[in-house]
Homo-oligomer: A and B are copies of this chain.
């Protein structure tokens, strides 16, 4: 099979990782670095999303899966294709033009953007060949192309989605405390919830299953652990259309 790239169509991946210790929603980006031919000047030194051209034989989903695996070694993570970006001027700032000339790709490239939801701790950044780095969503570095826009639109989509679908559990370990769910919601939405109200509402949900286990290795009183049951959730959702506009 030939591995021919489609020169004007790419996939870009916004990898969201939640760090349960720092309570921070992070984005994984990689270094974009280029020196002049003489090696005396740094022409480009910033960060970009990880992405790649789509191969002729490949589906868009397949391309996104390949890109994530190349970056993190991970497969089978939650992914969502959320938007295509195709403005004619999306790759035309000065550094982008230098970069594109060096890499020889098409100025009018349309990118299909995906986001992934995973746990920061699942990604091993030792010896990473792309100089990847996590940045908190609130402290993004200088980004090339239209990648800041892509990240912020992915974040908006996630904010809306986490209110109506249980995607949030993809960012948590399998066993979690109610407090950890609340902290994650607060981190994503940038608001504070009343502890008692939040707990009361969440433990009422049939798909939040209390376990016969408590936290270990914590200095304070260990809290009850719970898990999310996708099975129960899906059965409930099929029966009830909850209109919550």
Contacts and interface: CB of A to CB of B under 8 A. Distances in A.
Interface in A134-178: 160, 162-166, 168
With a 10 A CB-CB cut-off, give which of A108, A160, A162, A233 has the most chain B CB atoms. A108
Contacts of A83: 81
A157 to B, nearest CB: 11
Interface residues of A, number: 37
Given A191-B241, A241-B163, A59 B81 contact: no
B88 A56 contact: yes
Contacts of A244: 163-164, 242, 244
A73 to B, nearest CB: 25
Interface in A77-124: 81, 83-88, 108, 110, 112
Contacts of A189: 241
A163 B6 CA distance: 38
Contact of A84 (B60, B191, B243): B60
Contacts of A84: 60, 81, 84, 112
B108 A86 contact: no
24 contacts: A9-B9, A9-B86, A9-B110, A54-B86, A58-B88, A60-B87, A60-B110, A84-B84, A84-B112, A86-B112, A110-B110, A110-B112, A160-B164, A163-B164, A163-B242, A163-B243, A163-B244, A163-B245, A164-B244, A165-B245, A166-B245, A168-B245, A205-B245, A233-B245
User: When A and B form their complex, which 4 residue pairs have the shortest distance between CB atoms, in order from nearest?
Assistant: A244-B244, A164-B164, A60-B86, A84-B84
